[in-house]
Amino acid sequence: MPYAWPKWLPLPVVATTLGVAAVVMGMRQLGLLQPSELSLYDFYVQLQPARDPDSRILTVLVTEQDIQAQKTWPLPDATLADLLTRLNAASPRVIGLDIFRDLPQPPGHAALQNMIRVNPRIIPVCKSMGETAEQPEVPPPPSIPLEQVPERVGFADIPLDNDGVIRRNLFAISNPRAQRCTTPFSFALMVALRYLDQEPTQTIKLDDKGLTLNGVHFPLLTSDAGGYVGVDDRGMQTLLKYRSRTAVGPTVSLTDVLTGRISEDLIRDRVVLIGVSAPSIKDTFLTPYSGSDAVTQQMPGVVVHGQMVSQFLSAALDGEGPIWYWPLPLVLGWILLWAGVGSALGWWLRQPLWLGIAVAGGLVILFGSGFGIFVMASGWIPVMPPAIALVLSNAVMVGYVGYQAQQERKSFQAKVQEQEKALALLRSLMAEDTAALNAALREPTEITGKPRSLLSGRYKIQKVLGSGGFSRTYLAQDTQRPGNPLCVVKHLRPGRTDERFMQVARRLFNTEAEILEKLGRHDQIPLLLAYVEENQEFYLVQEFIEGQSLSQELKQKYTEAQALQLLREILEVLSFVHSHYVIHRDIKPDNIIRRASDRKLVLIDFGAVKQIQPQEVAKTQGSTVVIGTMGYAPPEQLSGQPTLSSDVYAVGMIALQALTGIKPRDLPRDSRTGEVDWQRCVTVSEGLAAVLNKMVKFNFSDRYPSAKEALQDVRRLGTPASSVLGIIL
């Protein structure tokens, strides 16, 4: 059995989704979207709520004022020795010295090196050898033996992204080229581990899968983490979880410590980090907080190391996990999902306002969820690629739908033109010499009885719903659908049987059926289920609309509000019909049904196909066959030349009947102009009177050209809320 494509999943939606998703995925994998994704990441960091300072970390900064006070740079070894002595006397857990001391800076070199050598709580830094000659190795202090370097020293290397911003935390490397800076651990991790050594029951594990601190695991950063594409993921890295935009914890200056202006309680049992913040030394970096002010909003290197130390301590002691991200397959699936959302919205929502609201809502959900997940769950999910996929797929689908609609309108116009040609040919045949065609005329007998009990082998006739001289409407059952649902069968008998007439009638019937099939997509027009020709007679099978005709409602007069609401309802569906250049030709209360299920008005019984049979109106118009109902049909329609404004006239006459309680053919007319003089019968507001007068003008060129323009003016008048409640039920 051949596979049937599911109707709920339109093929254009699938094709657009896959195509746009592939394009966006390709753009992402080429790195074209990385800058925007990283900028959004920085924006999240800037907007996240400020966290409390980390009281476990004290930062001692060498400021520009400190350098001026010392009158030299680099600082003499004696100054650093004095600083370390004072700090060590206050019993900190660990002292991190983020100032290179590989070369002597007399005086005091021996004293400083001796203090570093004998004091295990002091963690100095070195710089690992880079890949080029421009990135030389900076050794640790010479007083630390080479074999002790991995246990006593941390490397100060910080990974920079292509835009110079620090977003990653490199905590372990393997560098076999190193000669003196042989430590595998970063300065921040070494400081954090030394601090944690004095914590009870600490579980620390470092293997090829990452770092685990007291059950909090830091998986290894991948090259495609979050919004990254091909980022340098060598060594062991994690995303840096910033604590604040300035200091991590309490901060003092070098002079504050040397002059004894700080309390020992600020130092005791803490991490003390020593580094430089003086702009002249240029040990500052761009961070996500820098934003557009990249010149002044830079963070000293020692503060960056402090952010890293705080991240490790918060994980081990507070249970804070790292920033997580999705693996690449999930990221690509996420892009595919939003491409599908954009395509589906473009396919199902055809009204521009609602489509714009839906797409904007999707973007709000996407960006809002990205920020919410980052702040509340420490997760970095891609936002820019799916956002582009959403907008692009929607734009492509809207373009496709617009193109298809344009092509369909052209096709529809062609059908309408074909219908008009058939009607013109039919009129010309009817205008021929009647005497010469007597032999071809049917006997003027009405349709009697029922057609075959099972029309087309499928539709079982139940009862007669209505009849006219050469047509009859039946209620039938569809025996080939589950539950045998009801449908309406319209039986049309051509007025002549000569070959030329039947060819034109058949052509008109088929064209009318194709038009009705497309119009039936509207919720307030019955679906055309089938059209059948048997024994030179024609049958239209349409959806059965359960409800009562508007004729029943018009037995009582309407208030102005009710009439205005009625106009609005009819014109809304008629506007759809006119947008396809189709003239209904027989708008009257009997052809408008208020559906029982939702109380909406449904427009039935389009009139062009009726011209294949003689009509009552024709008896008063000579040999010209026309369609319409006296009173509702305007003059040009009665002369066989209907326009879109002819339908507008009929709607206006229905509204006048509702307001006055008088049938249109009985309304008074001005004998000089032919205009309907209805305002003698009822008084309404000037606005409504102007609209109705324009709708029922005798000359079609003075009327609204189509239902759309009439509907616009009706909407401007407004519809009082009470009118809905006042509609006659």
Q: Which residues are catalytic?
A: 586
Q: Which tokens go with 475?
A: 């209620």
Nearest CA to 21 among 346, 326, 391? 391
Angle between the N-to-C axes of helices 560-579 and 686-695, in degrees from 0 to 180, rounded to the nearest 10: 40
Nearest CA to 94 among 317, 270, 276? 270
**Residue 411 vs residues 18, 392, 518, 521, 606: alpha-carbon distances, Å:** 29, 28, 11, 16, 19
Asked whether the bond before 382 is cis by omega within 30 degrees of 0, the reply is no
Rounded CA separation 102/109 (Å): 11
Q: Mind giving me the DSSP string for 633-702?
A: S-HHHHTT---HHHHHHHHHHHHHHHHH---GGGS-B-TTT--B-GGGT----HHHHHHHHHHT-SSGGG
- Residue 436 has, within 13 A of its CA and on its CB side, a CA count of 5
Burial class, 416, CB count within 10 angstroms (exposed 0-12 / middle 13-18 / buried 19+): middle
Q: Are 122 and 97 in contact (CB under 8 A)?
A: yes
Q: Are 590 and 549 in contact (CB under 8 A)?
A: yes
Q: Mind giving me the DSSP string for 208-248?
A: TTEEEETTEEEEPPPTT-TT-SS----SEEEE-----SS-S
**Residue 51 vs residues 285, 316, 365: alpha-carbon distances, Å:** 21, 17, 26
Rounded CA separation 113/372 (Å): 50
Rounded CA separation 489/464 (Å): 9
**Distance in Å from the first CA to the final CA of the chain:** 50
Burial class, 33, CB count within 10 angstroms (exposed 0-12 / middle 13-18 / buried 19+): buried
- Residue 385 has, within 13 A of its CA and on its CB side, a CA count of 32
Please name the amino acid found at residue 121: R
Q: Are 81 and 97 in contact (CB under 8 A)?
A: no
Rounded CA separation 324/169 (Å): 13
Nearest CA to 529 among 459, 592, 465? 459
Nearest CA to 386 among 364, 360, 366, 356? 366
Look at residue 710 and give its three-state secondary structure: helix
Secondary structure element (H or E) that encloses residue 269, with its range:
none
